[in-house]
Every structure is written in C-alpha cells, then in structure tokens.
Amino acid sequence: MDGVVNFFKPAGMTSHDAVHFFRKLLGIKKIGHTGTLDPMASGVLPVCIGKGTRIAEYLTDTRKEYIGELTLGSKTDTLDSTGTVLDSSEITVDESKINIVFSNYRGKIHQIPPMYSARKVDGKKLYELARQGLVMDRQSREIEIYEMEILNILENQRIIFRTKCSKGTYIRTICDDIGDALGTFGHMSFLMRTQAGGFLINDSLGIETLKDFNKDDLEKIITPLDKALSHLKAVELDGDRFDKLLNGLTSRVSSRHNDLPRFTPLRVYSGNKFVGIGILSGEGSDLSLKMEKVLAR
C-alpha cells in the first residue's frame, strides 16, 4: 500500500490525530500527512501511505483552496474562534469598503506567521511558546494569493469567501489583517480546505466511509504515487532503462525533451513504468537526467 489517500479531516481532529487514525486502521507505522490543517478546520488532508511518505515534500509545495469565514468585531489571541477575545469593536463596516479591502488581497504579499502555529523558533514550536504567554519576533514570509472571492456578506459582519493561495499561507492571519484594514477587528470563524494540489474535496473520504473498508478495499482507494504527483511534468525515456534508473544512475536523454524545465522535479517513466522523480540538466545532445528519488518497487 504505497500512495496517498484523499482524507476529509473533520473539524476538531488534529493532523497528527489523522495520522494516528490511519496507523490504527491499516496496522502500519509508515504514514504521514502533507501540510498541517488547523484542528478547527475541516477538509482535504492528503495522507501519505508507505512510500507515499517519500513524496510528501512535493505534495506540500502545491496550491491550496479554502472556503473561509471572517467575523468582524473581535480579535482573538489565536486569530480564530477558538481563542480568547483580546479586543472588540461595535463599528459597522460599509459593504463597499469590505469589497475594496478584499480586492487588495491578491498577488504576492508578505505575511507574519501567527504565534499559535506549528512554525519553529530556536527549535520550539510557536504555539508551545504562546501557551507560556511568550510572544516571539517572527520573520515575514512571501506568499501568493492567486484568487480571492467574496461569496456572501451577512449583516456586514460575517464574510464568506473563497481563496486559492500558495503553501504556507495562514488564512487566520489574512482575516486578522483584513479586520485591521477595515478599521475594526476580525477573526477566522470557519475554514474548510477544498483543494490541495490535485486532491479535491468532492473525491475525499471521511472517517465513517473509511471505517467500512478493509485493507484490500483500501488498496483500491489509495492514489498511486505517480498519479499523486500529476502536477509535475513527466519524462518518458527511450528504450528500457528501468534497471539503470533504479540504481540512481545519470542517464542521457533525447534532445526532444529540451522543452522540459531544468533543475525541477519531474515524473520519470521507462518502458511505461513509473520509476520515480528526476532532475534534468544540460542542453541539446548533453541533456541528462539524474534520479532524485527512486520510488519503484
């Protein structure tokens, strides 16, 4: 059982709890997840099984889509509805101003990770320090908002929105920042991840569905390694060089692959069999491929 399960994580479950659930369900230890999803959030959490844990880094570095809710009028220490209210305001914000501020949250922006997050400072997770009442200096990071759309505005206080963003984006921080930009306070009151890379919420499997599967059935619902990596471009090597590639050796590549990107992870096939992930370098007749990760059996 090597691959990835498109798991629907329910609200209230931590990402670590999800891993524990699958370890107990399958009776194996080699399981991990891609991209932590807050306990209060629900939605798509790709869970890596067996050799799937070796491709987690390539799945984490993908676009995400969320449906969220921003509630105006109060700020919390966690920046979401699970935290303690720090400030509040009775200000009513005009709907046109809400639309203008949301429209500014597109493109590349710099974001400071919240204290209640799994990011580490000096080897310690920020949320562990936050629970001790500590506030640490955090460096801002560049993220990218590809899409930001308001779906509904309720009583000029609750804003339902959809966004597509890069990895490492904290929707809680966006909600807090928008509250400030509107001259009031705000926190995230709902979050559902609807897409992570090629994994869509409509195809996800919840706990109740999975409990009814046995191990043989689960093999049918695990996404194979190469399909899970479908967001990467593929290269099919001429001839049967499968054994050579299994040994991680560098292989010459036909110049017809010159249009593929260099120094970027690619799915590698030989003899119509998936070998793993490789990197192209060189030009023309000097084009070569070196295996980065061999994933075939």
The answer to whether the CB of 105 falls within 8 A of the CB of 174 is yes
Query: CB within 8 A of 194, min separation 6: which ones?
Result: 43, 44, 65, 66, 67, 162, 200, 201
Q: What sections of 104-139 are H helices per DSSP?
A: 126-130
Q: Is 122 a catalytic residue?
A: no
Calpha distance 213→208 (Å, rounded): 10
The rounded distance, in Å, linking the Cα atoms of 27 and 108 is 43
State CA 83 to chain mean position distance. 23
β-partners of residue 148 are 163
Residue type, 23: R
Closest CA to 49 of 34, 67, 66, 38: 34
C-alpha span between 89 and 154 (Å, rounded): 17
Q: Which residues are paired to 121 by β-bridges?
A: 124
Of the residues 2, 38, 176, 226, which is catalytic? 38
What is the amino acid identity at position 246? L
| Cβ atoms 73, 89 nearer than 8 A | yes
H or E element at residue 53: none
Q: For residues 167 and 62, is the Cβ–Cβ distance under 8 A? A: yes
> What are the residue numbers of the active site?
38
